[in-house]
Structure 1
Amino acid sequence: MTTVRLGTGIGWRPEIADAVEAMPGVDWVEAVAENVCPGHLPASLLRLRERGVTVVPHGVSLGLGDAGRPDERRLTALAERATALGSPLVTEHIAFVRAGGPLTASPGIEAGHLLPVPRTRDALDVLCENVRIAQDALPVPLAVENIAALFSWPGEEMTEGQFLYELADRTGVRLLIDVANLHTNHVNRGEDPAEALTELPLEAIAYVHVAGGVERDGVWHDSHAHPVPPAVLDILTDLASRVSPPGVLLERDEHFPPPAELERELDAIREAVESGARVRGAATPERVREPAAVGPVTEAARERLALAQTAVLSSLVVGTPAPEGFDRTRMRVQARALAAKRADVVAKVAPELPGILGDGYRPAFLAYARTRPMTGGYRQDAMAFVDRLLRSGTLEDPGTRRALRAWWLDRSGPRPRAHHPATRLARATRRALLRR
């Protein structure tokens, strides 16, 4: 596979679209695939493309690390976005995002966020097959990203570098290396970023992510809402001292600073890459990677992984006990982070709800999320949340109740149903998982 030289880029978000267009030296941008409609591309992205700026769609919901096979509709949607944007590649994550379903004979549940897969042979076999399925369905090459994690799986059989090396070796997939996530895993899981870089197949790198985060009570949160810390830039310099990264991109998803501050961060990223290059000297020649032969994945391996992932996800979103061997404190931190993420995204998907409920929105949503797992995406989550509020009898203000009911009716039909499908599924999920 020929390496695409991308240069220095920034994550395109609607909130900073005008600023990104005006920034000097931006060679390319990355857009969240699920936030882009192929038939109605944002005017800003169209203008950037007309100027010759490359646009790469970055998926967040495919779930390549799920025990089940990738959903054909999600693959088709990702392929459509790559075609519409004229992208040279698409990217996704090495993560699981949903569990349950037919493999466990229980209702499906969703994390609403990216969760780490265990670095085991079963998980690697399943991931390799899922990546191969995705590669066959996409019109351009696929690159996959290492994720940040708050907890570790017990009994892992490989380091992150070994896991990624074998994944690339067996599938030929490119790697999107997030150096901020390497830092996160250093703080949260004691993993050495330098060791991970030493073990990685550097010639398989498609590009690099750089982002900021924040530490609270000894846990690093990969927030994408804070400045890039020096420790992350140091890892980037280390990587650039080993190989010339084809592209480097700054991610920022919330609490956007003034454009001048983003430009300073891009300058710091360029300097980190140049510092690494001075150490490296001559560019490392690219090696051609041919996928190794891979046998079929047994359904037994998928079923074992499905049971393990369902137990973990149920403890995070339904409140069942953490499986044996997991750090219960870290699992509680992760559970709170998932609930907070749900609240934040639902507030963006349905901004009327914080407007109607005011300061009461967040505590009400978090109380709902403690007993109601997400089963069908954020829009359905918003509907189920309001349905529960309307039936709970806890809304004391008549005006708030009328406004919520009007919102609900406008989106769902004649009246809130006492046996809404989302509510029934949530209850069934909890019963099924508690029996395991």
Structure 2
Amino acid sequence: MERLGTGIGWRPEIADAVERMPGIDWVETVAENVCPGHLPESLLRLRERGVTVVPHGVSLGLGGADRPDPGRLAALAERAQVLRSPLVTEHIAFVRAGGALTATPHLEAGHLLPVPRTRDALDVLCQNVRIAQDALPVPLAVENIAALLAWPGEEMTEGQFLYELADRTGVRLLIDVANLHTNHVNRGEDPAKALAELPLEAIAYVHVAGGFERDGVWHDSHAHPVARPVLDILTDLARRVSPPGVLLERDENFPAPAELEGELAAVRRAVEAGAVQRVKAEVRATAHALAVHRPGPVPGARAGDADATGAGESSVPVSDPTRVRPAGAAGGSSGPEAAAGADETRERLGLAQAALLSALVAGTPVPEGFDRVRIGVQARALAAKRADVVAKVAPELPEILGPRYRPAFLGYAQARPMTGGYRCDALSFAEHLLSAGLPEDAAARRELREWWLDRSGPKPRSRRPAHRLARATRRVLLRR
């Protein structure tokens, strides 16, 4: 695996600062935010300087019940080629549910949601990862995610789940130590145990990010400084293996460049501390091995007795007994029966994911076995994120509505789950307000109507004939 070094998440808001930062070996950019035909000048300059650029996808939904969308895979492949990336990355998560597979309404989460650590979910995930690997021109690495809630009836720990995934597919792992900390606080999972169960040789690189705790719940915000416990987990990981790359993520509340450089320095120190511990452990192990396996016969031992000199003992470490035996080792069946079974597995997983997502975004009953309080926390977090992202993709809406934007959007979101992307959501929100005769201020309502009209057709209004029937019809329907 290529050594990446120390990197930072490239975002437009800090592009200039990233270009000037010393010691940046590589950057990662959100794949869906990059247009292959119009790459940002900053990324082009970094790439020409020899800085590696890795596209990081967020919308494939490899952990979902449906097979990966060919269009999304093609888009990710195109970005990898344009950026000349050595690999691409995605998440072990589902982001949508419902639709034809389950004959239920199609719903979008707008967020990364955890998959159940069950055999069904693992089988589907492995199939989806193989489909993605076949469609991509470079290796794929997948990331463990942070979660506010746990699925009932899980059959594996996170480490066991990731171990089997890597063993069965050969996929690389992107280990997010901040997400391990999140799951420690929110789900009581031991980060050290997860690291001990991981196939460390499969790690492609490591993510580090900040967050905050509120009411006993850790929120993986990517908008706060990296917490000490996260750095400690990074040190523990570096004690076990030398990570090919480590990257600092920051998506909001961007601090001054000097503060970001300080966080990167703390990340480097945490890795170095782990490396020192690793070297010391290796020295101790070597000294112990030399002491135990010193040559020469033991007095009183029979010639040729392997145990007399210790030469019969294996230097290969014993496998961790907590690891699940690789499911792929026994081979698998093929043919119509296997295909039918795979479809049934996808349907079972799809129904479970659709029921959970519907409870989170549509207010339907919480599926049996889930923590209702955590479901409520996650539902509010999803609605808040939805409002924030719509405000980003359509900044005119909070400008037009002012302080009325957020309560109005949250009220809209409560009864209307997202079924398309965020841009469609912005248009639907505006249409909802206008249909209700809102906002009450006539000038604001007129401005909102103009904004909606300009974006709801196939082309901007400035490029369409003024007499176009569709435009006139919309004006009549919306006139108040």
TM-score (norm 2): 0.84
Q: Which residue of 1 aligns with 2:392?
A: 348
Aligned residue among 276, 279, 286 for 2:277: 279
- The change in CA–CA distance for 1:204 and 1:417 in structure 2 (over 3 A counts) is farther
Q: Do residues 123 (structure 1) and 118 (structure 2) align?
A: no
SS at match of 2:96: strand
Q: Which residue of 2 aligns with 1:241?
A: 239
Q: Which residue of 2 aligns with 1:177?
A: 175
SS at match of 1:104: coil
Larger Rg: 2
SS at match of 1:63: coil
Q: How far 1:294 sits from its partner (Å)?
A: 5.3
Write the letter of the residue equivalent to 1:199. E
- The change in CA–CA distance for 1:218 and 1:147 in structure 2 (over 3 A counts) is same
CA distance in 1, matches of 2:8, 2:476: 46
Q: Do residues 231 (structure 1) and 275 (structure 2) align?
A: no
Q: Deviations over 1:75-119 (max 9, x none)?
A: 000000000000000000000000001111122110000000000
Point out which structure has higher relative CO (alpha carbons under 8 A, 6+ apart).
1
State which drifts further: 394-403 or 330-339.
394-403
CA distance in 1, matches of 2:379, 2:139: 34
Q: Which residue of 1 aligns with 2:372?
A: 328
Q: Which residue of 1 aligns with 2:75?
A: 77
Q: Do residues 301 (structure 1) and 345 (structure 2) align?
A: yes
Aligned residue among 383, 404, 410 for 1:366: 410
8 Å CA contact 1:390, 1:405 repeated in 2: yes
Q: Which residue of 1 aligns with 2:320?
A: none
Q: How far 1:191 sits from its partner (Å)?
A: 0.2
Q: Which residue of 2 aligns with 1:429?
A: none
CA distance in 2, matches of 1:199, 1:232: 18
Write the letter of the residue equivalent to 1:257. P
Q: How far 1:321 sits from its partner (Å)?
A: 1.1
Q: How far 1:418 sits from its partner (Å)?
A: 11
CA distance in 2, matches of 1:66, 1:91: 16
Q: Which residue of 2 aligns with 1:388?
A: 432
Question: Displaced runs of 4+ in structure 1, greater than 4 A?
Answer: 291-297, 415-420
CA distance in 1, matches of 2:476, 2:175: 47
CA distance in 1, matches of 2:456, 2:192: 52
Q: How far 1:412 sits from its partner (Å)?
A: 1.1
Extract unaligned runs of 5+ from structure 1. Answer: 421-436
SS at match of 2:101: helix
Q: Deviations over 1:43-77 (max 9, x none)?
A: 00000001000000000000000100000000000
Q: Which residue of 1 aligns with 2:354?
A: 310
Q: Which residue of 2 aligns with 1:427?
A: none
8 Å CA contact 2:60, 2:90 repeated in 1: yes
CA distance in 2, matches of 1:350, 1:65: 29
Q: Which residue of 1 aligns with 2:319?
A: none
SS at match of 1:177: strand
Q: Which residue of 2 aligns with 1:401?
A: 445
8 Å CA contact 1:148, 1:222 repeated in 2: yes
8 Å CA contact 1:233, 1:269 repeated in 2: yes
8 Å CA contact 1:9, 1:249 repeated in 2: yes
Aligned residue among 268, 271, 280 for 1:270: 268
- The change in CA–CA distance for 1:418 and 1:333 in structure 2 (over 3 A counts) is farther
- The change in CA–CA distance for 1:104 and 1:418 in structure 2 (over 3 A counts) is farther
| Overall identity of the aligned pairs, in % | 79
Q: Which residue of 1 aligns with 2:12?
A: 14
CA distance in 2, matches of 1:196, 1:246: 19
- The change in CA–CA distance for 1:81 and 1:419 in structure 2 (over 3 A counts) is farther
SS at match of 1:150: coil
Indicate the RMSD between aligned Cα atoms, in angstroms: 1.8
Write the letter of the residue equivalent to 2:277. V
8 Å CA contact 1:387, 1:416 repeated in 2: no
- The change in CA–CA distance for 1:383 and 1:294 in structure 2 (over 3 A counts) is farther
Q: Which residue of 2 aligns with 1:412?
A: 456
Q: Deviations over 1:220-261 (max 9, x none)?
A: 000000000000000000000000000000000000000000
Q: Deviations over 1:17-49 (max 9, x none)?
A: 000000000000000000000111000000000
Extract unaligned runs of 5+ from structure 2. Answer: 286-325, 458-470
CA distance in 2, matches of 1:412, 1:323: 37
CA distance in 2, matches of 1:42, 1:419: 40
Q: How far 1:392 sits from its partner (Å)?
A: 1.2
Equivalent residues in 2 for 1:25-36 (5 A)?
A: 25-36=23-34
SS at match of 2:156: coil
Q: Which residue of 1 aligns with 2:191?
A: 193
